A and B are shown apart, each in its own frame.
Chain A
Amino acid sequence: MKNILFLFLSLSSFFLFAQAEHRVSVGNKTIEFREIDRLVIVGHDEKDLKITRKGGDSREDERAKGMRKISASGKTDNTGFGISSQGFDDKVVIDQVGKGDGTIMVFVPNSSVVKVVQSTYRGGDLEVNNFKGELDVSMHYHKVKLTNTYGPLAINTIYGGIEAAFSSGPPSQDIRLHSTYGNVELMLPKNTAANLRLSTSYGSMYTDFDIDVKANMANAEGQKGSDHDHDHGGLTGTINGGGKLVSLNATYKNIYLRKLE
């Protein structure tokens, strides 16, 4: 009897701490994340999209028991995480329902195409880690932080910056990082071969790569144009003989292209 009780107590703690999750079958559909306040995306080799949460208010809202959360988007929480998941012919759309709570962590299939749109000032930075599929992000107010995102990248932010790093080998797809008011920072393995297009209107460009410059409109070491000179700082060139396109644009701030030794 004591043993049974002991076993029960041990298992009960496991059940209490086992993380809740919601799975969505996505097939080959594009996955769109819309207006989620705090989002972390991680690539995995499973076929489903998996939604979990970290942080947030762990206290259950007693008043809300038995009711569903609704929002002006017309969507309802059908995942238990304050998130709506809807499937269409060609895409799965993940929306936040009402106020955000904690950070939504999603695990997406590495073969998928992911789009993220965040246009409100609410919430925080977007993180994407260890994802091999195509990533397309439009972010208004916050930063975008990418680690080992090896698919084709097209990232734009207005007020936040972009930080991207590749530490598991050189990227093998085109990379486009564009920030209007933030810095753009990219770290690449030292043997990365790429065709570079770097552009800034009012900022400076810094790098420790040896760039074979094809054309420039200002010194690549970072001299800005004068106040009277509207020519922006920009250059095209190659590193390690050239390869996939790396296009970095920081309209009002700086570009940092770092070499990972």
Chain B
Amino acid sequence: MKFLLSLLLAASPFFVFSQSGRQEIPLKDAREIFVFGDLSGVHITTGGTNTIAVNHVLTVNGEDQQELRQLDIVREGRTIRILEKKPTAELIKDKFPGGGMNVAHGPEKKEWGDYGGKKVVAYLEIVVPAGVKVSAETVYGGLNARGVTEMPMAKSKYGVVEVVFAANASINGLDYESEYQSVDVTLPANTSGNLHLRTTFGNMFTDFDFPIKANMDQAGHDHGPKSQPIDAELNGGGKDITLRAKYQNIYLRKLE
């Protein structure tokens, strides 16, 4: 009996990983976390005090796929790196060959439509204590962060980057980019910084009030697309706030 109980206790962390995808990572002396999502979308909120709560979800056609989930948790100095090793898009295609793949990258209810193919739900929910610096990068899924106080870097290849800062957030420079989707950032109204907004094929929207010095390149000598950069000072200027969305739009909002 004792032996069985010991076995159960020894195996319990494994079960935590594999059955529900939930786990708690002690913060200890870490002050910064980096999250990487491959197929999954990454959703970051703030809460707790001493631990980072992680929920890694993967279902295919409604069935949990515990063997196809894997996170590597690596401590490097005062930084904790949470890296999604599985699933990858190739892995899902290998395990479920034939037909297309429709992926929901977040917990929101998705309208699947009548496109057929596999219905995949893949996302990573991270709850970090306030005051912890967060950076994140995704490939296929979007990146959604709310209530963060410090998030200097956010990048996605195919997903939307959407970040809403807390009212007491301190913005000391931002570098956000989505290669194929939009970048949507909400900053406290008194944020100051040097804005660098870059889109080639999209539009830019804001409800902040800042003067824009005309910076139009003269077209005609270049057959390629012309980037129309906006460089402006927000509330007197400060650290660089760079937002890039080559093919889609940039939204720069004021936190009400």
Contacts and interface: CB of A to CB of B under 8 A. Distances in A.
Interface residues of A, number: 22
Interface in B104-127: none
B168 to A, nearest CB: 23
A120 B184 contact: no
A72 B205 contact: no
Contact of A72 (B184, B202, B216, B225): B216
A121 B219 contact: yes
A71 B218 contact: no
Given A64-B249, A64-B251, A70 B207 contact: no
B214 interface: yes
Listed residue (B203, B207, B212) with the most chain A CB atoms within 10 angstroms of its CB: B203
B188 interface: no
B219 A119 contact: yes
Interface string A132-159: 0000000010000000000000000000
A6 to B, nearest CB: 34
B211 to A, nearest CB: 8
A98 B203 CA distance: 5
A137 B249 CA distance: 31
A63 B215 contact: no
Interface in B202-256: 202-207, 211-216, 218-220, 223, 225-226, 228-230, 249, 251, 253
B205 A69 contact: yes
A56 interface: no
Contacts, number: 70
Contacts of A120: 219-220, 226
Interface residues of B, number: 27
Contacts of A122: 225
Nearest to B162: A63
B215 A72 contact: yes
A129 B89 CA distance: 54
Nearest to B202: A99
B14 interface: no
Nearest to A120: B219
B201 interface: yes
Listed residue (A71, A82, A98) with the most chain B CB atoms within 10 angstroms of its CB: A71
B219 A71 contact: no
Given A63-B251, A64-B251, A67-B251, A73 B205 contact: no
Listed residue (B184, B205, B223, B249) with the most chain A CB atoms within 10 angstroms of its CB: B205
A121 B203 CA distance: 18
Nearest to B182: A63
A140 B223 CA distance: 11
Contact of B220 (A64, A68, A140): A140
A72 B203 CA distance: 10
Contacts of A60: none
Contacts of B202: 98-99
Interface string A50-77: 0000000000010110111111111100
A36 B215 CA distance: 17
Contacts of B219: 35, 119-121, 140
Contacts of B220: 119-120, 140
B214 to A, nearest CB: 4
Contacts of A61: 205, 249
Contact of B218 (A63, A64, A67, A119): A119
Interface in B181-211: 182, 184, 201-207, 211
A47 to B, nearest CB: 30
A72 B206 contact: no
A73 to B, nearest CB: 5
B249 A74 contact: no
B249 A72 contact: no
A10 to B, nearest CB: 33
Nearest to A65: B205
A69 B251 CA distance: 9
A68 B204 CA distance: 8
27 contacts: A61-B205, A63-B184, A63-B205, A63-B249, A67-B205, A67-B206, A67-B253, A68-B205, A69-B203, A69-B205, A70-B205, A70-B230, A71-B212, A72-B214, A72-B215, A74-B214, A74-B215, A98-B202, A98-B228, A99-B201, A99-B202, A120-B219, A120-B220, A121-B223, A122-B225, A140-B219, A140-B220
Given A68-B207, A71-B203, A72-B212, 6 more contacts: A64-B251, A71-B228, A72-B214, A73-B228, A99-B201, A119-B220
Interface of B: 182, 184, 201-207, 211-216, 218-220, 223, 225-226, 228-230, 249, 251, 253
